[in-house]
Homo-oligomer: A and B are copies of this chain.
Amino acid sequence: MLRVLAVAEEPLLVEQLDHVFQSTGKRLRPAIALLSAGFHPNDGRAVEIMAAAVELLHVATLVHDDTVDKADTRRGRPTVSSLWGPNAAVLIGDYIFATSATFVCDTGNLRVIKRFAETIMELSRGELEESAKVYSPAQEMDSYLDRIYKKTASLFATASEAGAILSGAPEDVVVVLRDYGYNVGMAHQIVDDILDLEGDPEEFGKPVGQDLAHGILTMPSLIALERNDGESPVLKYFRNPEDQRALGEAVALARDPSIIEESYSRARDFGRKAVDSLAGLGRSASVESLEEVVHYVLDRRS
């Protein structure tokens, strides 16, 4: 990320970017891009640039999401928006977006650049659709899965697909790795949505039940709604977002161990598909690492 900082001359901007990139994210997306380039000999240059572009795009969306969600902390650290205000956060997010675009252009690969642009579009549509549906009881499992594809799995799929393309891998390998990235991304977002409900607030870095509190239904609350044929505290809370007691009951309902287990089971299904998709690639260090990423995604607690 050094180049991003190097071009900034304003001391305040340097401080703000510094703050953003000091956060020790999991760097899952760049790792997947790099590992996906392990199936064809290449000098690694274009893939490294792509890995940086993918992480920058991810960070840019986090900065804007935190602004939209009015989040005070992310992974236990204050957000840009809480430190310097929402306006600075809009501009910093735009700047990191723009940087990711110039990085991806530096790969010089038109196909990868196009996929990247489509991904930015999908990320942004996912956020818009989520925001348009808040507190609406008419949210269904299918539209949830479509939404988490757009907001998360799309970028995972682009990371693995672009890694494969830039390594010069043949088309069948590109397709396999895109499939892998899609499935890991879906599993990752479902686990994220589970951890929002039953993660340790200290470890996870934010309070429990934030999605429900913001009127967003995810895998566990959707399963809870499917099971409940009478009046659900979730719908009661959505009708009256002032009703903190209904919110408490809704969160308790969605945290039910059998619901959490069913949610994990859905995440594991995607994880299994990710691992299965790699079968045709034979055994190699890259395959093993990609499998480890799947296990990490499923087992993580924060």
Contact = CB atoms under 8 A, between A and B. Distances in A.
A137 interface: no
Interface residues of A, number: 39
A91 interface: yes
Nearest to A67: B90
A62 interface: no
Interface stretch (A98-106, A186-194, A203-211, A270-278): A98-106
A13 B110 contact: no
Contacts of A118: 102
A244 to B, nearest CB: 22
A113 B101 CA distance: 9
A90 B63 CA distance: 11
How many identical chains are in the complex?
2
Interface string A85-109: 0111011111101110110110010
Given A105-B114, A114-B105, A121-B102, A87 B131 contact: yes
Contacts of A10: 128-129, 132
Interface in A106-145: 108, 110, 113-114, 117-118, 120-121, 123-125, 127-129, 131-132
A67 B92 CA distance: 14
A279 interface: no
